[in-house]
A = this chain, B = another copy of it.
Amino acid sequence: MKSQEKAVEQVLFSRRASGLSTNPATGPSATAISFDSGHAFPSILPDLTQVASVALSKYRAETLQYAPRPGLPELRSWIAEYMRSDGVVNLSPEEVLVVNGAKHGLELVCRLLLDEGDSIVVTAPTYFTAIPIFKSFGVEFIEIQQDSEGLNVSELQHSLENRKQAGKRLPKFIYDVPDFHNPTGLTMSRDRREAIIELAKDYGLFIVEDSPYRKVRFEGESQPSLKALDDSNSTVLTLGTFSKLMAPGLRVGWIAARRDLLARIVQLKSDGGSCPLTQRLIIEFCGTGQLDNHIRRVQETYRVHRDRMVAAIRRDFPEAEFNVPHGGYYLWLTLPPDCDGDDLATRAAQENVILVPGSKFFTASSGHGIGQPFPKNHIRAAYSYASPEQIDEGVRRLARAYRSIA
């Protein structure tokens, strides 16, 4: 770990461990403001005391024993119905596997699909936490650019065709976050979605659709999920999570995929079942109709946060350019060409505002040592965890940090 990362980690560790974002001794202005993480805004975390009481009394013999490895049947049914209502026709509970969060799902998918020397397709930039997971399987990355419609499918086709002509092995899967992409906030257009599925079918690749922010939409209409467009239900494996729907701490996610693939993944999931208590909390919360209201609160809250950050950056840090995302947690800031995102993040941390430099989202970044050259002038600003007041103050600090190195 580089020393800069370590410093950031330490600030975050102590703050999160205490559960406080404000140091009572020094007051809020001296405290680190977090624009770095996908943490939830604390006051939006749901009240689960009642459902926990039910889960730990009425369902004690279920919630405190080992659970079936594929997940509680009621939860698998609920997830299947949730996805069917989102356009994935005919999805059955047997095509849903409960896992310990989407990252666990991603790791299991990698264990299923990847062999030594394999390659995969990722966007450039891509979700930075996924990169070390992929790397632990020794993959080669094929990075494809995005435009306003999402992953550039023509560029991908060109790349695949070149590999084919050169007699190189084709990649095993395409990994993408089609809704409110992390970090760019882009949402893939319908045409692009149809094109990528057709391309994947033509070349015999899987698509791993990671869509944690799909319901965190502030305006506009959803596009059909990739899973919904995969008529044959053979190409797309979808990762879902309750982290953004309810709360990250539950550590419950799922994989929706073809039955034969899931049957093999269950064999790899040698864990005595995922936690039945948190699964039951979700069943009770969703089953009593509390999820829809909660999602509305999430959408309203984060829309206010996004608007506040957009306004603050336009006002106090106009040197940064960005697209306004229609949902999700993040602004992907493009800095003037001579501004290095790593330097800015380091300087900003000294000003007590924490952001993730853009380099982290490219497979070639110095910490990873592989892949293509990448632009250095980006930084990701999350508006989820900080309060509206902290967003104003944090952007002022960020602008001050920028001016001190510009």
- The answer to whether A64 has its CB under 8 Å from any CB of chain B is yes
* Interface stretch (choices A36-44, A214-222, A329-337, A354-362): A36-44
Chain B residues within an 8 Å CB radius of A47: 56-57, 60
Chain B residues within an 8 Å CB radius of A20: 61
**A 40-65 binary contact with B (CB < 8 Å = 1; else 0):** 10100111110011011101111111
Cα(A338)–Cα(B273), bound, Å: 36
Contact check, A248 vs B277: say whether CB atoms are below 8 A apart.
no
Contact check, A274 vs B250: say whether CB atoms are below 8 A apart.
no
Chain B residues within an 8 Å CB radius of A16: 62, 65-68
Chain B residues within an 8 Å CB radius of A52: 49, 52-53, 55-56
- The answer to whether A380 has its CB under 8 Å from any CB of chain B is no
* A17-B68, A66-B249, A249-B63 given; A271·B101 CB < 8 A: yes
**A 83-120 binary contact with B (CB < 8 Å = 1; else 0):** 00000000000000000110110010001000000000
Chain B residues within an 8 Å CB radius of A237: none
- The answer to whether A178 has its CB under 8 Å from any CB of chain B is no
Chain B residues within an 8 Å CB radius of A271: 100-101, 103-104, 107, 251
Chain B residues within an 8 Å CB radius of A224: none
What are 27 A-B pairs at a CB distance below 8 A? Answer: A16-B65, A16-B66, A16-B67, A16-B68, A17-B73, A37-B66, A42-B65, A47-B56, A49-B52, A49-B57, A52-B53, A63-B249, A65-B247, A66-B243, A100-B275, A101-B272, A104-B271, A129-B270, A129-B272, A133-B270, A249-B275, A249-B276, A249-B277, A250-B275, A251-B272, A251-B273, A277-B277
Chain A contacts to B: CB under 8 angstroms: 13, 16-17, 19-20, 37-40, 42, 45-49, 52-53, 55-57, 59-68, 72-73, 100-101, 103-104, 107, 111, 129, 132-133, 136, 243, 247-251, 267-268, 270-278
